[in-house]
Copies of this chain bind each other. A is one copy, B any other.
Amino acid sequence: MKLTIKEVAQQAGVSIATVSRVLNNKDRVKSSTRQKVKEMIHKLNFQPDLNARNMIKKESKTIGMVIPELSNEYWSHLVDVLQENFWDNGYMLIVGSTDRNLDKEQAFIKSFIERRVDGIIFGSSLTPRADTDNETFKLIKQYGIPIVSLDPKNREMSCVLGDHLQGATDGVEHLIRLGHRSIAFIGGPTAPDSRELGFRNAFMLNNLIVDESLIRRSDSSSTFQFGYQTTIQLINDGAEFTSIFCYNDATAFGVFKALEEKGMRVPEDVAIVGYDDVQMAGLFKPALTTVRQPIIEVGQALAKLLIDTIEMGSTSIQKVPPKSISFKMQLIVRDSCGSQLKS
C-alpha cells in the first residue's frame, strides 16, 4: 500500500540510490537508466516524501509567519503576495494569526521551530522589546533560524518597513494645507508609533502646536470598532476638531459611521485621512483620502531578504549586519477632505 523510493527502484530494476539520483537530477546516471527510472516514477505516480528528504538536507523549504489577523485587507494582501513569492522559490508559507495575543504568538513560533522552518517573518510582533533575554527570541537564535520583520523590532533583526513617518507627515500636512488646525489622531496599537511621530512632525514643520486631548491611542487592535467608539467618545468629550487622521482605513470607516450617526458630514464638517488605501477606499462615499502602502513591493522585499539570508546559510561569516529596507508612502487625495480651504 505504501509507495516509496524502494518500490520504484525494485520495479525499475535499479538501486534506490539511482532513483534518488534521478529524483534530484544528479549527474552521473546513464541516460538510458535515467529514462527508465523516470518512466517508472511516472507510471507509479510516485511523489517523494519531502519530509524524509528535508531531514537529511537539514532544511524544510518552509517559512513561518506571524500576523495579528488575516481579516484585515492589509494583512491578507501581504500574505498573498508573500505566499506567491515564496512559492516561486520553492518555499511554502505557513502563517499564524495571533489576534495580538502574546501566548498565541509564542506558541506559533515554538511550533515553527518544531517543524524546523527555514525562516520566520514577524509580521507584527508582540514578542517585542525582543531584546536578548526574551524566551522566544532566545529560542530562535539558539536554533539559528533566520528572521526578518516588517517594521523594525530590534537592532539585530533585518527588516522591511514603510516610511510611516513620511506617510503620516504627508497625510497630516495635507490637512494643514487645507487650513485645518484642530486635527484629531486616532492611533493604533503600535508602540512606538511612527505614524504618531509623523503626525507631530507635520505640526512642527508648520509651527503648530499639537492639542494632546485630540490624540487617542488603541491598546489592542485598530479596527472599524475602535474608530467608531473613539470618535463617539471624542464627540461626547466635547472635543473640538475639524478633521481626523486615522491609523488605517478600517479605523477611518468606523469614524465615518460615528460621524454620520452624530449628524456630522464628511468632508463639510469633518475631514478624514486614512492609511493603507484598501480596495474600498476609492469606492466609499465620500472616497477616502488616504496614504497608500506599497504592499506588493514590501512583500517582495521581505521575501527576497529572507530567502537571501537563508541561502547565504552559514557560508559566509554568520554575521552580516542586519539590513533595513524602507519604502515611501504615497498620499492619495480623494474626496474625504474636500478641496476648499478651511477658513
Contact = CB atoms under 8 A, between A and B. Distances in A.
A339 interface: no
20 contacts: A3-B143, A47-B114, A49-B55, A50-B115, A70-B79, A70-B80, A71-B77, A71-B279, A73-B73, A73-B76, A80-B97, A83-B95, A93-B94, A224-B283, A253-B280, A253-B283, A260-B285, A280-B280, A284-B285, A285-B285
Given A92-B111, A94-B94, A47 B77 contact: no
Contacts of A17: none
A323 interface: no
Contacts of A142: 3, 45
Interface of A: 1, 3, 45, 47-52, 54-55, 60, 69-71, 73, 75-77, 79-80, 83-84, 87, 92-97, 110-111, 113-116, 138-139, 142-144, 224, 253, 256-257, 260, 279-280, 283-285
Contacts of A113: 47
Given A3-B143, A51-B115, A280-B280, 16 more contacts: A1-B144, A47-B110, A47-B139, A51-B54, A70-B76, A70-B77, A71-B279, A73-B73, A73-B76, A80-B97, A83-B96, A92-B111, A92-B115, A224-B283, A253-B283, A257-B283
Contacts of A253: 280, 283
A84 B114 CA distance: 19
A82 to B, nearest CB: 10
A143 to B, nearest CB: 7
Contacts of A3: 142-143
Contacts of A283: 224, 253, 256-257
A132 B6 CA distance: 27
